[in-house]
Amino acid sequence: MSDHYFSASPSSPSESKRLSVTLGGQAAEVLVAGGVFSGSGVDRGTAVLLKHLPDPPATGDLLDIGCGWGTISLDAALRSRDLRVWGVDVNERALSLTRQNADLLGLNNVTACFADQVPTDLSFAEIRSNPPIRVGKKVLHELMLTWLPRLSVGGSAFLVVAKKLGAESFERWLAESFTDGFQVSRFARDKGFHVIRVLRTA
């Protein structure tokens, strides 16, 4: 069976290659590889998310759900050097690439790890994610139910989803599932993608 980006241990060739991208408003050299999400560069959805995001918090903890080779994590860490960024993924190769890329960029504020390695008492000033829609609704919903309640009061989650992959129904599910103490809204729409904001109000 072929690899998916949510395979824990991809069997496809792990040879990495260098890629020139723009992260944190600056040119950056990173490593990418097959067997991880968007292993050839910055995918369109993540590019839309980064384009519309506000500046990350100056301090505190930020979570990137499904970090891949680190696009969202690295961008936030470059913009806020005193921010602690947590990139989580089920894919061992993705986590390794995120760590290597943080080292290449001189970042010591990025931790790439499995979900169960994140301290259970940690709350997040912000969550940023291009969530793994293709894992299916059950797993996707479990991810949201696990992580969104760990937002600090006043913190927001920004989630980018393609309209053709169910952005509108996902937004409705979020609004129905996160009622007391949360506000769900469409933050931006661009190039067939929706950026959904989940704000924790209480």
Specify the DSSP element, H or E, that contains 146.
helix 137-147
More confident residue, 73 or 35: 73
Dump pLDDT digits (tens) for 100-147.
999 999 999 999 999 999 999 999 999 999 999 988 999 999 999 999
Q: What is the pLDDT of residue 39?
A: 83
Helix axes 71-79, 44-52, angle to 10 degrees: 20
Distance of CA 196 to the CA centre of its chain: 13
Q: What is the pLDDT of residue 14?
A: 62
- The pTM for the full model equals 0.92
Q: Is the four-CA dihedral 18, 4, 86, 42 of positive or negative sign?
A: positive
| Domain boundary assignment for the chain | 16-200
Beta strands in 6-72 (DSSP E): 16-23, 26-33, 61-65
Q: 56: Cβ–Cβ under 8 A, 6 or more apart, which residues?
A: 62, 76, 79, 80, 83, 126, 128
Dump pLDDT digits (tens) for 11-60.
455 679 999 999 999 999 999 999 898 888 899 999 999 999 999 999 99
Task: Name which of 56, 159, 146 is nearest 109 in CA terms.
Answer: 56
Match 């590019």 to its residue by tokens.
47
Of all residues in the chain, what percent carry a pLDDT higher than 90?
A: 87
Distance, CA of 68 to CA of 72 (rounded, Å): 9
Answer for the pair 66, 93: CB distance below 8 angstroms, yes or no.
Answer: no
Give CATH for domain 16-200. 3.40.50.150
